[in-house]
Amino acid sequence: MHRRGFFENAAALAVGGAIWPQAGQAEENAAAPKPRRATLAQVAVHKNVEQNLASARRAIEQAAAEKGEFVLFPEMFLTGYARDIRQDEATTGMAEIAEMCRKFAVTALVGTAWQEEDKLFNQVRIIDATGAPAGVYAKKCLTYGDAKTVSAGTTELVFSVAGLTVGVLICNDLWVTPGYSDGPNPHLTLKQARAGAQVIFHHIHSGSDQRHRAYHESNHFVRAVEAKCPIVAVNAFTPPEVNATSGVVGTDFRHLVALPRDREAIQTVDFLPTVRT
Protein backbone atom coordinates (compact mmCIF):
# COMPACT_ATOMS: atom_id res chain seq x y z
CA MET A 1 0.00 0.00 0.00
CA HIS A 2 1.26 3.53 -0.80
CA ARG A 3 2.16 5.70 2.20
CA ARG A 4 -0.70 8.08 1.36
CA GLY A 5 -3.22 5.23 1.35
CA PHE A 6 -1.87 3.93 4.64
CA PHE A 7 -2.31 7.25 6.40
CA GLU A 8 -5.80 7.78 4.95
CA ASN A 9 -6.88 4.41 6.35
CA ALA A 10 -5.29 5.13 9.72
CA ALA A 11 -7.17 8.43 9.94
CA ALA A 12 -10.46 6.70 9.23
CA LEU A 13 -9.86 4.20 12.03
CA ALA A 14 -9.08 6.96 14.50
CA VAL A 15 -12.52 8.52 14.18
CA GLY A 16 -14.49 5.31 14.45
CA GLY A 17 -15.19 4.64 10.79
CA ALA A 18 -13.32 2.08 8.75
CA ILE A 19 -11.89 1.65 5.26
CA TRP A 20 -10.85 -1.95 4.71
CA PRO A 21 -11.59 -2.52 1.03
CA GLN A 22 -11.14 -6.14 -0.04
CA ALA A 23 -12.03 -7.93 -3.24
CA GLY A 24 -15.58 -9.31 -3.16
CA GLN A 25 -16.60 -7.31 -0.08
CA ALA A 26 -18.54 -4.08 0.41
CA GLU A 27 -16.21 -1.13 0.84
CA GLU A 28 -16.66 1.12 3.87
CA ASN A 29 -16.07 4.59 2.51
CA ALA A 30 -15.22 7.01 5.32
CA ALA A 31 -14.24 9.87 3.01
CA ALA A 32 -17.11 12.11 4.04
CA PRO A 33 -19.05 10.70 6.99
CA LYS A 34 -21.33 13.11 8.81
CA PRO A 35 -20.98 13.20 12.61
CA ARG A 36 -24.20 12.37 14.47
CA ARG A 37 -25.16 13.10 18.06
CA ALA A 38 -26.74 10.92 20.74
CA THR A 39 -27.66 11.62 24.35
CA LEU A 40 -26.90 8.68 26.64
CA ALA A 41 -29.03 8.30 29.77
CA GLN A 42 -26.89 6.33 32.22
CA VAL A 43 -29.47 6.50 35.00
CA ALA A 44 -30.73 4.30 37.78
CA VAL A 45 -33.61 2.06 36.71
CA HIS A 46 -36.51 1.70 39.13
CA LYS A 47 -39.40 -0.75 39.32
CA ASN A 48 -41.73 2.19 38.98
CA VAL A 49 -42.69 3.63 35.60
CA GLU A 50 -43.32 7.15 36.90
CA GLN A 51 -39.85 7.36 38.50
CA ASN A 52 -38.28 6.24 35.24
CA LEU A 53 -40.36 8.73 33.26
CA ALA A 54 -38.84 11.51 35.35
CA SER A 55 -35.41 10.44 34.09
CA ALA A 56 -36.77 10.26 30.53
CA ARG A 57 -37.98 13.85 30.74
CA ARG A 58 -34.58 15.05 31.94
CA ALA A 59 -32.71 13.16 29.22
CA ILE A 60 -34.97 14.25 26.36
CA GLU A 61 -34.96 17.88 27.45
CA GLN A 62 -31.15 17.78 27.71
CA ALA A 63 -30.91 16.20 24.26
CA ALA A 64 -33.01 18.99 22.80
CA ALA A 65 -30.85 21.64 24.46
CA GLU A 66 -27.63 20.00 23.26
CA LYS A 67 -28.89 19.15 19.76
CA GLY A 68 -28.89 15.41 20.35
CA GLU A 69 -30.65 13.54 17.54
CA PHE A 70 -30.99 10.23 19.41
CA VAL A 71 -31.70 9.53 23.08
CA LEU A 72 -30.60 6.10 24.27
CA PHE A 73 -32.03 4.53 27.42
CA PRO A 74 -30.76 1.36 29.14
CA GLU A 75 -32.14 -2.15 29.00
CA MET A 76 -35.53 -2.45 30.76
CA PHE A 77 -35.46 1.29 31.46
CA LEU A 78 -39.16 2.10 31.44
CA THR A 79 -40.55 -0.80 33.49
CA GLY A 80 -37.48 -1.97 35.35
CA TYR A 81 -36.72 -5.66 35.84
CA ALA A 82 -40.10 -6.31 37.44
CA ARG A 83 -41.47 -9.83 37.23
CA ASP A 84 -45.07 -8.65 37.02
CA ILE A 85 -45.32 -5.58 34.85
CA ARG A 86 -48.50 -3.66 34.22
CA GLN A 87 -48.80 -3.37 30.46
CA ASP A 88 -51.22 -0.44 30.78
CA GLU A 89 -48.55 1.53 32.66
CA ALA A 90 -45.89 0.63 30.08
CA THR A 91 -48.20 1.67 27.23
CA THR A 92 -49.06 4.98 28.90
CA GLY A 93 -45.37 5.62 29.63
CA MET A 94 -44.37 4.98 26.01
CA ALA A 95 -47.14 7.35 24.86
CA GLU A 96 -45.69 10.10 27.07
CA ILE A 97 -42.19 9.49 25.68
CA ALA A 98 -43.60 9.60 22.14
CA GLU A 99 -45.15 12.98 22.87
CA MET A 100 -41.83 14.27 24.23
CA CYS A 101 -40.06 13.02 21.07
CA ARG A 102 -42.57 14.91 18.95
CA LYS A 103 -42.31 18.07 21.06
CA PHE A 104 -38.51 18.17 21.08
CA ALA A 105 -37.91 16.54 17.66
CA VAL A 106 -35.65 13.74 18.93
CA THR A 107 -35.58 9.98 18.34
CA ALA A 108 -35.72 7.80 21.46
CA LEU A 109 -34.66 4.17 21.85
CA VAL A 110 -36.34 2.94 25.01
CA GLY A 111 -35.63 -0.28 26.87
CA THR A 112 -38.75 -1.83 28.35
CA ALA A 113 -40.56 -5.03 29.17
CA TRP A 114 -43.53 -5.48 26.84
CA GLN A 115 -46.42 -7.91 26.80
CA GLU A 116 -47.51 -9.32 23.44
CA GLU A 117 -50.42 -11.74 23.68
CA ASP A 118 -49.35 -14.33 26.26
CA LYS A 119 -45.60 -13.61 26.09
CA LEU A 120 -43.37 -11.05 27.78
CA PHE A 121 -40.38 -9.62 25.88
CA ASN A 122 -37.31 -7.57 26.76
CA GLN A 123 -37.45 -4.88 24.07
CA VAL A 124 -36.03 -1.65 22.78
CA ARG A 125 -38.84 0.37 21.22
CA ILE A 126 -37.86 3.11 18.77
CA ILE A 127 -39.85 6.36 18.61
CA ASP A 128 -38.88 8.79 15.85
CA ALA A 129 -38.71 12.58 15.96
CA THR A 130 -42.38 12.89 14.94
CA GLY A 131 -43.46 10.71 17.86
CA ALA A 132 -44.25 7.75 15.60
CA PRO A 133 -43.10 4.14 16.17
CA ALA A 134 -40.02 3.37 14.05
CA GLY A 135 -39.19 -0.19 15.07
CA VAL A 136 -39.04 -2.77 17.85
CA TYR A 137 -36.09 -4.95 18.76
CA ALA A 138 -36.49 -7.85 21.23
CA LYS A 139 -33.55 -9.42 23.08
CA LYS A 140 -32.49 -12.70 21.46
CA CYS A 141 -29.64 -14.10 23.59
CA LEU A 142 -31.31 -14.51 26.96
CA THR A 143 -29.41 -15.12 30.17
CA TYR A 144 -30.64 -17.94 32.37
CA GLY A 145 -32.25 -15.29 34.57
CA ASP A 146 -33.98 -13.63 31.60
CA ALA A 147 -35.39 -16.95 30.43
CA LYS A 148 -37.35 -17.32 33.66
CA THR A 149 -39.54 -14.33 32.78
CA VAL A 150 -39.21 -13.31 29.10
CA SER A 151 -39.26 -14.99 25.69
CA ALA A 152 -36.48 -14.73 23.11
CA GLY A 153 -37.13 -12.21 20.34
CA THR A 154 -37.35 -12.85 16.61
CA THR A 155 -37.31 -9.22 15.45
CA GLU A 156 -35.15 -7.67 12.73
CA LEU A 157 -31.52 -6.77 13.51
CA VAL A 158 -31.35 -3.39 11.76
CA PHE A 159 -33.67 -0.42 11.36
CA SER A 160 -33.81 2.70 9.22
CA VAL A 161 -33.84 5.57 11.70
CA ALA A 162 -33.20 9.29 11.07
CA GLY A 163 -31.37 8.61 7.83
CA LEU A 164 -29.15 5.87 9.25
CA THR A 165 -29.18 2.10 9.15
CA VAL A 166 -28.97 1.27 12.85
CA GLY A 167 -28.28 -2.02 14.59
CA VAL A 168 -29.84 -2.50 18.03
CA LEU A 169 -28.70 -5.01 20.67
CA ILE A 170 -29.66 -5.59 24.28
CA CYS A 171 -27.00 -6.46 26.86
CA ASN A 172 -26.15 -10.18 26.56
CA ASP A 173 -26.93 -10.15 22.82
CA LEU A 174 -23.45 -8.75 22.29
CA TRP A 175 -21.32 -10.73 24.71
CA VAL A 176 -23.22 -14.01 25.37
CA THR A 177 -21.44 -14.35 28.71
CA PRO A 178 -20.19 -17.90 29.44
CA GLY A 179 -21.84 -19.36 32.53
CA TYR A 180 -24.85 -17.06 32.21
CA SER A 181 -26.28 -18.16 28.86
CA ASP A 182 -26.04 -20.93 26.31
CA GLY A 183 -23.84 -20.58 23.25
CA PRO A 184 -22.68 -20.56 20.64
CA ASN A 185 -22.30 -16.81 20.15
CA PRO A 186 -24.36 -15.89 17.05
CA HIS A 187 -22.10 -12.88 16.25
CA LEU A 188 -25.06 -10.52 15.92
CA THR A 189 -22.80 -7.50 15.41
CA LEU A 190 -21.28 -9.12 12.32
CA LYS A 191 -24.74 -9.99 11.01
CA GLN A 192 -25.82 -6.39 11.56
CA ALA A 193 -22.78 -5.13 9.67
CA ARG A 194 -23.57 -7.44 6.76
CA ALA A 195 -27.13 -6.09 6.84
CA GLY A 196 -25.74 -2.56 6.41
CA ALA A 197 -25.58 -1.22 9.97
CA GLN A 198 -23.67 2.06 10.13
CA VAL A 199 -23.73 2.18 13.92
CA ILE A 200 -24.79 -0.28 16.61
CA PHE A 201 -26.71 0.95 19.65
CA HIS A 202 -26.18 -1.30 22.69
CA HIS A 203 -28.64 -1.04 25.60
CA ILE A 204 -27.27 -2.56 28.83
CA HIS A 205 -28.26 -3.35 32.41
CA SER A 206 -25.22 -5.37 33.47
CA GLY A 207 -24.85 -4.53 37.16
CA SER A 208 -21.78 -3.65 39.18
CA ASP A 209 -19.79 -6.90 39.55
CA GLN A 210 -16.38 -5.73 38.40
CA ARG A 211 -15.18 -9.27 37.66
CA HIS A 212 -17.09 -9.03 34.38
CA ARG A 213 -15.85 -5.61 33.27
CA ALA A 214 -12.81 -6.81 31.32
CA TYR A 215 -14.92 -9.36 29.43
CA HIS A 216 -17.66 -6.86 28.65
CA GLU A 217 -15.38 -4.11 27.44
CA SER A 218 -12.97 -6.31 25.48
CA ASN A 219 -16.02 -7.65 23.64
CA HIS A 220 -17.11 -4.11 22.84
CA PHE A 221 -13.71 -3.43 21.31
CA VAL A 222 -13.56 -6.65 19.30
CA ARG A 223 -17.16 -6.43 18.04
CA ALA A 224 -16.73 -2.83 16.85
CA VAL A 225 -13.67 -3.89 14.87
CA GLU A 226 -15.49 -6.95 13.52
CA ALA A 227 -18.50 -4.85 12.44
CA LYS A 228 -16.30 -1.99 11.18
CA CYS A 229 -18.60 0.57 12.75
CA PRO A 230 -18.89 2.35 16.08
CA ILE A 231 -20.85 0.90 18.99
CA VAL A 232 -22.71 3.45 21.10
CA ALA A 233 -23.51 1.92 24.48
CA VAL A 234 -25.65 3.00 27.42
CA ASN A 235 -25.73 1.13 30.73
CA ALA A 236 -28.14 1.45 33.63
CA PHE A 237 -26.38 2.96 36.62
CA THR A 238 -25.92 0.38 39.39
CA PRO A 239 -23.94 1.56 42.44
CA PRO A 240 -21.20 1.73 43.32
CA GLU A 241 -19.88 1.43 39.74
CA VAL A 242 -21.11 -0.11 36.49
CA ASN A 243 -19.17 -3.00 34.98
CA ALA A 244 -19.52 -1.96 31.33
CA THR A 245 -18.70 1.59 30.30
CA SER A 246 -21.30 3.72 28.57
CA GLY A 247 -19.99 5.74 25.64
CA VAL A 248 -18.70 5.42 22.09
CA VAL A 249 -16.49 2.50 21.07
CA GLY A 250 -14.41 3.05 17.93
CA THR A 251 -12.94 0.56 15.50
CA ASP A 252 -9.43 0.91 16.93
CA PHE A 253 -9.92 -1.09 20.16
CA ARG A 254 -10.70 1.84 22.44
CA HIS A 255 -13.37 4.13 23.82
CA LEU A 256 -13.66 7.36 21.88
CA VAL A 257 -15.96 8.69 24.60
CA ALA A 258 -16.41 7.14 28.06
CA LEU A 259 -18.97 8.20 30.66
CA PRO A 260 -18.00 8.00 34.35
CA ARG A 261 -18.84 4.58 35.78
CA ASP A 262 -19.44 5.67 39.38
CA ARG A 263 -22.51 7.92 39.05
CA GLU A 264 -25.61 8.68 37.07
CA ALA A 265 -24.76 10.67 33.97
CA ILE A 266 -26.75 12.05 31.07
CA GLN A 267 -24.23 13.02 28.40
CA THR A 268 -24.48 13.99 24.75
CA VAL A 269 -21.80 12.39 22.56
CA ASP A 270 -20.81 12.54 18.92
CA PHE A 271 -20.23 9.45 16.81
CA LEU A 272 -19.18 8.93 13.20
CA PRO A 273 -21.31 6.32 11.42
CA THR A 274 -19.63 4.12 8.85
CA VAL A 275 -20.61 4.93 5.27
CA ARG A 276 -21.11 1.62 3.50
CA THR A 277 -21.11 1.40 -0.31
Work out the average pLDDT over 198-218.
98
Query: In this structure, is residue 276 part of a structural domain?
Result: no
Give the model's pLDDT for residue 30. Answer: 42
150 located within any domain: yes
The predicted structure's pLDDT at residue 13: 35
Question: 118-156, pLDDT tens digit by residue?
Answer: 999 999 999 999 999 999 999 999 999 999 999 999 999
State the CATH number of the domain containing residue 172: 3.60.110.10
147 assigned to some structural domain: yes
User: Would you place residue 260 in the very low, low, confident or very high pLDDT band (cuts 50, 70, 90)?
Assistant: very high
Instruction: Answer yes or no: is 229 within a domain.
Output: yes
Structure confidence at residue 31 (pLDDT): 54
Query: What is the predicted pLDDT for the residue at 4?
Result: 40
Residue 277 lies inside a defined structural domain of this protein: no
**For 18-68, what is each residue's pLDDT tens digit?**
433 343 444 444 456 799 999 999 999 999 999 999 999 999 999 999 999
Q: Which domain holds residue 49?
A: 3-271
Distances (CA, A) of 81 to 17, 50, 155, 177, 206: 35, 14, 21, 19, 12
Stretch 9-18: mean pLDDT, rounded?
Answer: 38
Segment 270-275 shows an average pLDDT of: 97
- When divided into structural domains, the chain yields a total of 1
Mean pLDDT of the chain, nearest integer: 90
- What is the per-residue pLDDT for 261? 98
| pLDDT reported for residue 32 | 67
Render pLDDT for 227-248 as a digit per residue (tens, 0 to 9): 999 999 999 999 999 999 999 9
